[in-house]
Chain A
């Protein structure tokens, strides 16, 4: 996370600062020095900084804390042909994410301290901060709990068997009870397998038409309901990963009203795309599907669902029922997607399209901009707690993890320009509005789109 070329102060000038942690939303200049935020003032003259200072012109841009992703698949170790910690971190900072949390469904799985140390070592020189999520159960096998306290001592920030649920209800109860004293959330991937045998996409008219086995919403909702009941029973910290259905959002809303401790996340794709995208028409109802149908890039768990589900997820994110956005970035190699829909792997490469996808929902009026920034910064920090609050705000003295983005810049997604090795996104070729111009981690510029930032070093 070092950048030898930038030792002097950096002034981010003329942007709209949105800093939910500190209740700030307005036009401010941000001064960064020594890796920390030094000052935020309505105006900080560049000529007061002396030589070697750099000014990042941010007129028309949003300046906010770097995004935190609590659900990222970095694939290392075991699947380095899909992604590495280095390429995933590069993709993250291009997408405005300064902290990412690696899911433990690697090979071997991250279920002991040595594995956490390995990932941390591999992450030491990458541009983003990488935190580690540990397995709930040994080997993600769903039989016995992993050594949770040892994992926490090694640095894990949450537990999850993601990719699979903690299926055994009694074991989930034990995990929530045991983790209560450790004060670290259990993030569960909710999927009742018995309700979706062989399922590859959302159950609905599109699956019927395409002759593909469906995954009904109830496969998710049944386990969300179970987990909420277990959270009520145990008082454990339950976090629900990647909610996708209107019914799940309603269950979480009811749980909140009853005071049950539960947090939840939603992925960018579940806020914009529907199951109709499997027809290969990029959401355009005027085209016939033809040979473009069965676009394997749309295959993801949970599946892309109906307009009503998208609406409910947006409403839940806007009203705070859903605490945060998480990418569930799931990069895959070409072979895993260049096959029939049935054979294709589940997952979308998300880090580099997340902001553009989310800004589409801001432009449509479904979620306002300050709220969206909150759901990418203090929202995820609140879910994980602990050290994360230090990285979720721009108060003087805080680590300077900052993203500068244009809320309006239109660009066309081209997977050939991805830093991620995962080229698997149904958004390839789609125009989005909202693009990262610069990302700073610990006061160093780790990514910048120079065409969007016109001037450079002040002499």
Chain B
């Protein structure tokens, strides 16, 4: 393996050390300021540079132990975290619910305490219950917790990779129009994306069947006097428009959400046929958006349902780019939580 001076396997680029402030855990994007979001995206850009090297390895997290603790099936998120940790030279241990003491009835708390006692530095947790990462964070004094998806609550690393990908292609996100279409009610991806894009100053339109729309999410209550960190209510720029043809007008970015077939079985909408008629993102609908508007999907995709096949694999699709960027984002977060700067402080 040949390495050049500029491609040295041994150090992170200096611009990967941008101070993001002190953060012990990544539980959601609702407590990220615009400065921290921007700094994280900048760090991820430096990590993308590492990903493009011949030798994808830096020693930034040598001696650190990262455990991926997954109570739900996952391909891309788990492998993405594993790859991110290994590129940074962390020791990565994968733990799945079906092949561990969890199957013998060990509680989430005791699993967490056991991992902490083993000296683990970071737990990356995915769990079907909203708030499971918060529960671990509350009870583990010496471990950083990263939420890799908790029930219908949040998926902050997905939100960050969505922001990164959007910024990469659109530049400044302030003033941009982002349409999120599908099952918003059950979507942790949507909830994190809303916080991320709204915090960055984009206007967000939520679109989908009214039966799958958490109406009160944008309503009073979470008003300006309740704003996170005392900031103005970031959700003031979030609106709901059930009609996709109307919602997509002037859009710069369309994000289609995964639709689980069980939603139809439980009566949230009459049939897949009707869903496709009203909410599938296809070429005709994209034509109503701004010229150059882009498509994202968090995966795994039901091709031909949420998105037409042609569009999913066409020029406007950023779906594969999102996956690559996911590794960079997770490298940035692991470094911010467990790297030298975090440890020294």
Interface set of A (CB-CB < 8 Å, partner B): 203-213, 276, 285-286, 288-294, 306, 335, 338-343
Categorize the interface residue count of chain B.
Answer: 35 or more
Q: Closest CB of chain B to A388's CB: distance in Å?
A: 41
B130: contacting residue among A203, A212, A290, CB under 8 A? A212
Given A205-B221, A290-B31, residue A343 in contact with residue B229 (CB < 8 A): no
Interface string of B179-215 (1 = CB under 8 A from A): 0000000001001000000000000000000000011
CB-CB < 8 A to A203: which residues of B?
A: 216
- How long is the Cα–Cα vector from A339 to B129 in the complex, in angstroms? 10
Interface set of B (CB-CB < 8 Å, partner A): 25, 27, 30-31, 107-109, 127-132, 134-135, 137-139, 150-154, 188, 191, 214-217, 219-222, 225-226, 228-230
Given contacts A205-B222, A212-B152, 18 further A-B contacts (CB under 8 A): A204-B216, A205-B221, A209-B191, A213-B152, A276-B221, A285-B225, A286-B230, A288-B31, A288-B228, A291-B134, A292-B138, A293-B134, A294-B135, A338-B107, A340-B132, A341-B129, A341-B130, A342-B151
B188, A340: Cβ atoms closer than 8 Å:
no
Give the number of A-B contacts (CB < 8 Å).
88
CB-CB < 8 A to A343: which residues of B?
A: 129
- How long is the Cα–Cα vector from A288 to B127 in the complex, in angstroms? 22
CB-CB < 8 A to A276: which residues of B?
A: 221
- How long is the Cα–Cα vector from A290 to B129 in the complex, in angstroms? 16
**Nearest opposing residue in chain A for B145, CB measure:** A291
B216, A208: Cβ atoms closer than 8 Å:
yes
- How long is the Cα–Cα vector from A289 to B29 in the complex, in angstroms? 12
A211: contacting residue among B25, B107, B150, B230, CB under 8 A? B150
CB-CB < 8 A to B226: which residues of A?
A: 285
A340, B131: Cβ atoms closer than 8 Å:
yes
Q: Closest CB of chain A to B121's CB: distance in Å?
A: 17
CB-CB < 8 A to A288: which residues of B?
A: 30-31, 228-229
**Nearest opposing residue in chain A for B228, CB measure:** A288
- How long is the Cα–Cα vector from A208 to B191 in the complex, in angstroms? 9
A to B CB contacts below 8 Å, 30 in the list: A203-B216, A204-B216, A205-B217, A205-B219, A205-B220, A205-B221, A207-B216, A208-B215, A209-B191, A210-B131, A211-B131, A211-B150, A211-B188, A212-B152, A288-B30, A288-B229, A291-B25, A291-B137, A292-B138, A293-B131, A294-B131, A294-B135, A338-B139, A340-B108, A340-B130, A340-B131, A341-B129, A341-B131, A342-B130, A342-B131
B127, A211: Cβ atoms closer than 8 Å:
no
**Nearest opposing residue in chain B for A274, CB measure:** B221
- How long is the Cα–Cα vector from A302 to B202 in the complex, in angstroms? 38
**Nearest opposing residue in chain A for B139, CB measure:** A338
**Nearest opposing residue in chain A for B188, CB measure:** A211
Given A291-B27, A291-B137, residue A206 in contact with residue B221 (CB < 8 A): yes
CB-CB < 8 A to A294: which residues of B?
A: 130-131, 134-135
A340: contacting residue among B129, B154, B220, CB under 8 A? B129
CB-CB < 8 A to B191: which residues of A?
A: 209, 211
Q: Closest CB of chain B to A201's CB: distance in Å?
A: 10
Give the 8 A-B residue pairs with the shortest CB-CB distance, closest first.
A211-B153, A294-B131, A211-B152, A340-B129, A208-B214, A208-B217, A291-B137, A205-B221
Q: Closest CB of chain A to B189's CB: distance in Å?
A: 11
CB-CB < 8 A to B132: which residues of A?
A: 340
**Nearest opposing residue in chain A for B221, CB measure:** A205
A212, B131: Cβ atoms closer than 8 Å:
yes
B216, A340: Cβ atoms closer than 8 Å:
no
- How long is the Cα–Cα vector from A286 to B139 in the complex, in angstroms? 23
- How long is the Cα–Cα vector from A291 to B31 in the complex, in angstroms? 11
**Nearest opposing residue in chain B for A285, CB measure:** B226
CB-CB < 8 A to B152: which residues of A?
A: 211-213
CB-CB < 8 A to A291: which residues of B?
A: 25, 27, 134, 137-138
CB-CB < 8 A to B107: which residues of A?
A: 335, 338-339
Q: Closest CB of chain B to A7's CB: distance in Å?
A: 51
Q: Closest CB of chain A to B218's CB: distance in Å?
A: 8
- How long is the Cα–Cα vector from A289 to B30 in the complex, in angstroms? 9
B135, A340: Cβ atoms closer than 8 Å:
yes
**Nearest opposing residue in chain A for B191, CB measure:** A211
**Nearest opposing residue in chain B for A203, CB measure:** B216
CB-CB < 8 A to B139: which residues of A?
A: 338
Q: Closest CB of chain B to A389's CB: distance in Å?
A: 44
CB-CB < 8 A to A211: which residues of B?
A: 130-131, 150-154, 188, 191
- How long is the Cα–Cα vector from A177 to B220 in the complex, in angstroms? 45
- How long is the Cα–Cα vector from A204 to B217 in the complex, in angstroms? 8
CB-CB < 8 A to B31: which residues of A?
A: 288-290
Of the listed residues B134, B139, B228, the one surrounded by the most CB atoms of chain A closer than 10 A to its CB is: B134
- How long is the Cα–Cα vector from A285 to B225 in the complex, in angstroms? 7
**Nearest opposing residue in chain B for A204, CB measure:** B216
**Nearest opposing residue in chain A for B25, CB measure:** A291
Q: Closest CB of chain B to A218's CB: distance in Å?
A: 14
B153, A290: Cβ atoms closer than 8 Å:
no
A339, B131: Cβ atoms closer than 8 Å:
no
CB-CB < 8 A to B25: which residues of A?
A: 291
**Nearest opposing residue in chain A for B194, CB measure:** A209
CB-CB < 8 A to A210: which residues of B?
A: 130-131, 153
CB-CB < 8 A to A208: which residues of B?
A: 214-217
Of the listed residues A206, A293, A340, A342, the one surrounded by the most CB atoms of chain B closer than 10 A to its CB is: A340
A204, B131: Cβ atoms closer than 8 Å:
no
Q: Closest CB of chain A to B32's CB: distance in Å?
A: 11
CB-CB < 8 A to A293: which residues of B?
A: 131, 134
- How long is the Cα–Cα vector from A307 to B268 in the complex, in angstroms? 30
Q: Closest CB of chain B to A23's CB: distance in Å?
A: 43
Given A210-B130, A211-B154, residue A339 in contact with residue B138 (CB < 8 A): no
- How long is the Cα–Cα vector from A51 to B132 in the complex, in angstroms? 63
- How long is the Cα–Cα vector from A206 to B130 in the complex, in angstroms? 13
CB-CB < 8 A to B128: which residues of A?
A: 342
CB-CB < 8 A to B130: which residues of A?
A: 210-212, 294, 340-342
A339: contacting residue among B108, B151, B153, B188, CB under 8 A? B108
**Nearest opposing residue in chain A for B190, CB measure:** A211
**Nearest opposing residue in chain A for B186, CB measure:** A211
- How long is the Cα–Cα vector from A210 to B147 in the complex, in angstroms? 14
CB-CB < 8 A to A206: which residues of B?
A: 221
- How long is the Cα–Cα vector from A290 to B23 in the complex, in angstroms? 11
CB-CB < 8 A to B138: which residues of A?
A: 291-292
A205, B216: Cβ atoms closer than 8 Å:
yes
CB-CB < 8 A to B150: which residues of A?
A: 211
Of the listed residues B108, B128, B151, B225, the one surrounded by the most CB atoms of chain A closer than 10 A to its CB is: B151
